[in-house]
Structure 1
Amino acid sequence: MRNIYVKMTPLLTFFAVGWSMSIRYKRVNFEKIQDLRNRKKPIVFAIYHNELFPLCYLHRNEGIIAVVSASRDGEILARVLHSMGFNLARGSSSRQGMKAMLAAMRQMHTKGRDAVLTVDGPRGPRHEVKPGIVYLASRIGAHIVPVRVRMSTRHEFSGSWDRFKLPWLWSGCEVVYGRPYKLSSKMGSSEITQEALELKHKLGLLSST
């Protein structure tokens, strides 16, 4: 099975890059991200699973650490992301999740890179923020940055759990970066759960601003 994934990777990467090159990107509030990076402050980007596609190309070759599911679908995504210049931490909220969080933390320390999590992945429910990102950001002392993508025209895969969105060729994509914020390093489980709800609220606000 792994050999199949290896053979598929170049084709899928070629498709993703070629398709994304036609998209007209616009970044909103990105100067806040640049400021944090200039000051060597760690960032954890919070995104929704169904808005993943256009962000892969936009943030290619930045060495961002992507926490990717240990599932078979995750294996394909991991290989494509790696070929586009992402680092990887494998696992999910339902399988080897803590192992992935620890791997992401180690890489953020040793490589000085940012990280990204699909906060409702890998199986949903759709747009329900799981606590993993709160745990990671609080323990590493990183800024959380909520990110939303507005696509002018797109196809929505209604049969998928997340209603995955694929922007049409030559469509516009506005990527909105929320206000970066930090959390206390000493948080209990109830506080982590509450912060996950707060992050969901922040992501919701970005979709309407």
Structure 2
Amino acid sequence: MADLLYRTSLAVVPPLYVVLSRLWFATCRVEVENPAVIEQVLAGGGGVAVFWHYSFLYIFHHLRRYPGVVMVSASRDGEYIARVAELMGYLTVRGSSHRGGVRALRQLVHHVRGGRHAGMVGDGSQGPARRLQPGCLLLAAKSGRPVLPVVWAASRYRVFGSWDRTVLPMPFARIHLAYGEPVYVPDGLSSAGLESRRQQLEEEMNALYHRLWLKTGRRCHDDLDKGRT
């Protein structure tokens, strides 16, 4: 019975979400900082868009206009996200740092070298929240394409009780979205060099995150920053 309900929900929920999300997000007012960057990256052959997990609901909608491939967790819950992504026009590869990550990375390298953007959740499928994992940097190094940070904040939103406190912008919210500067990673970089780039990119993304949320009158989207500087 449980399997039947799961299969039924897989058939119903993703297409329903895609239709409703288009109507939902169409009511939002979006301000984009540095919009020329993504066009420059596309003109150069594509890149690796990296974003925090809390933001994936709107990111998928926003980036759907670009030819993209995304890595989605191989879990049962990840199947919902994969089907939504495919209905939005993305290619998907399945894997994470905990399961099938090496194979998924090889597939992503192939697609990015072929001219597609890749989309990766910077803090992975299980966190910790807003702590960058090295996968996006490894993909950039192996593909020869830059990492492109993407961060957004919303004036009105709902927070879900997941580990990352996923954010859903409410209708008619103002969304502040920014593209960071492209980050190129040379292939063959030492472990120390890769870790240095990882820390630097994490700090830059979190600085951008806080700056955008301050525009909404908050420093962060929930209480995950209590005790942080």
1:16 aligns with 2:16: no
Quick one: distance in 1 between partners of 2:196 and 2:38? Answer: 25
Deviation track 1:166-194 (CA, whole Å, cap 9, x = no partner) reads 11111011111011120111113333233
Q: Is the 8 A contact 1:61 1:86 kept in 2?
A: no
1:166 aligns with 2:171: no
Q: Is the 8 A contact 1:47 1:117 kept in 2?
A: yes
Superposition pairs of residues 46-195 of structure 1, within 5 angstroms: 46-110=50-114, 112-157=115-160, 159-195=161-197
Corresponding residue number in structure 1 for 2:221: none
Quick one: distance in 2 between partners of 1:115 and 1:205? Answer: 23
Q: Which amino acid counterpart does residue 9 of structure 1 have in structure 2?
A: P
| Helix, strand or coil at the partner of 1:73 | helix
Q: Is the 8 A contact 2:148 2:180 kept in 1?
A: yes
Q: What percentage of aligned pairs have identical amino acids?
A: 28
> Which protein has the larger Cα radius of gyration, Structure 1 or Structure 2?
2
Quick one: distance in 1 between partners of 2:85 and 2:65? Answer: 9
| Helix, strand or coil at the partner of 1:121 | coil
Q: Normalised by the size of structure 1, how large is the TM-score?
A: 0.92
Quick one: distance in 2 between partners of 1:19 and 1:72? Answer: 26
> Offset of 1:198 from its aligned partner?
1.4
Deviation track 1:19-49 (CA, whole Å, cap 9, x = no partner) reads 11211112110112212223x3321111000
Q: Which runs of 5+ in 2 are unaligned?
A: 212-229
| Helix, strand or coil at the partner of 1:207 | helix
Q: Which runs of 5+ in 1 are unaligned?
A: none
For these two proteins, the number of residue pairs brought into alignment is: 206
Quick one: distance in 2 between partners of 1:54 and 1:44? Answer: 17
Quick one: distance in 2 between partners of 1:207 and 1:109? Answer: 29
